[in-house]
Amino acid sequence: MTVQKSSLSGSLRAPPSKSYTHRALFCSALAQGESTLRSPLSCDDTRATSDALSRIGVATEWGAGTARVTRSGELNLPSDVIMCGESGTTLRFITAVCATTPHDIEISGEPSLLKRPVKDLVAALGELGARCTSDLGYPPVHVKGPIKGGSVTIPGNVSSQYVSAVLLAAPLAENPIELRIAERLESKSYVQMTLEMQHDFGVQVEANDSLTDFRVRPQAYRPSEVEIEGDWSSAAFLLAGATIAGDKVNILGLDEKSRQADRCILDIIERMKAQAKRGSDSVTTQRSQLQPGEFDVSDSPDLFPVICALCAAAHGTSTIKGIRRLRIKESNRVQAMSEGLRLMGIQTQESEDTLAVQGGKMHKATVNPHHDHRIAMAFAVLGLSTEEVTITDAECVGKSYPSFWYDIQLLGASVRDN
């Protein structure tokens, strides 16, 4: 896709939350009976979750604006390897769920997923009584339960998905599970989202205020009906596009009180002196002279690409901290963003946990997003204020935001399908 210099305007509803949709699908799968998800996100990753769950006997019927998830009886032994596509969330959560069964199950995925670490999750499930192995800490994973219970410690500075995975499976253990977090729990709000969804399905988890100690007793998930809120992670690209090249853009369906970590994009664009108006469920913003700043993405790593785009559009040097984990996402996001920005004339300087971006005038370029949806969307945003930017492998946005190219055109972006 080629994005040419253009101006955004109008209103658009944010797509549904990918993180909440994943969690709702898994909680539904752990409840006997039928659950209904209203306004779920249908994308490559959430379809990977529903497909993986279908392999163990959980049916998902995707409809217009709904998903009905039905489980009847015990979880099945799959006839073959459970494939998780490119979804790290699917991989980690389904591994923990399969650890609650007596079946010997292999879990794998596409080549990019085989680079995503699972070592600490495999170790934790093993300590809880499952037989769980992996290939030097990476998929494929072999797991056979059931988990028995007991105490386990997980590092909090690698992936919060390990913590969420164990919490999702813990109510189905034979005995209570005590989970402790070593180091600082990064991306804490994703664990809060898991606890919130578990509560909606009738599960109570005891946790201290700092979310470093959890206790989960054996209990049953109950079928539920839940509404999936708008996705701040995806909406961040629309808000960034508006601040870089918007007359006035109103994004609907965004809960300012959401537990989603990426709601902090609003604080970030305001710190960069963007003109933004907050509503109870919407944000309105427009083209602004952005100021450079210093940002920390330890708790909101998915915002890194869009923050890089904003910093590139701000004249002066910005610093982005907390980037260490971004080298093990769908791509090495630090390398991918630095490479693309340099092609556009923007200089960056990288250290182990920090990236400095020297914002300023950009020129046309062709950018390879390295099959990473958030990299592709970040450079699409920059194309709005540049002569043109061509993004190869543009369909990779389907991982989280399948309608992205259509939506930005609705707002007035000049996009050409090559």
**Rounded Cα distance, 58 and 52, in Å:** 9
Q: Which segments of 203-281 are extended strands (E)?
A: 206-207, 213-216, 225-227, 246-252, 275-278
**Tokens standing for residue 418:** 């090559």
Q: Pick left, alpha or beta for residue 47 (phi over 0 → left; psi -120 to 50 → alpha; otherwise beta).
A: alpha
**Rounded Cα distance, 154 and 123, in Å:** 9
Classify 16 as helix, strand or coil: strand
**Tokens standing for residue 328:** 């093990």
What does the H/E/C string look like for 175-223?
CCEEEEEECCCCCHHHHHHHHHHHHHCCCCCEECCCCCEEEECCCCECC
How does DSSP classify residue 315?
A: S
Q: Could you tell me if 158 and 116 are in contact, meaning their C-beta atoms sit under 8 angstroms apart? A: no
Active site residue 302: yes
Angle between helices 304-313 and 232-245 (to 10 degrees): 10
Catalytic residue, candidates 302, 353, 372, 417:
302
> Which residues carry out catalysis?
302
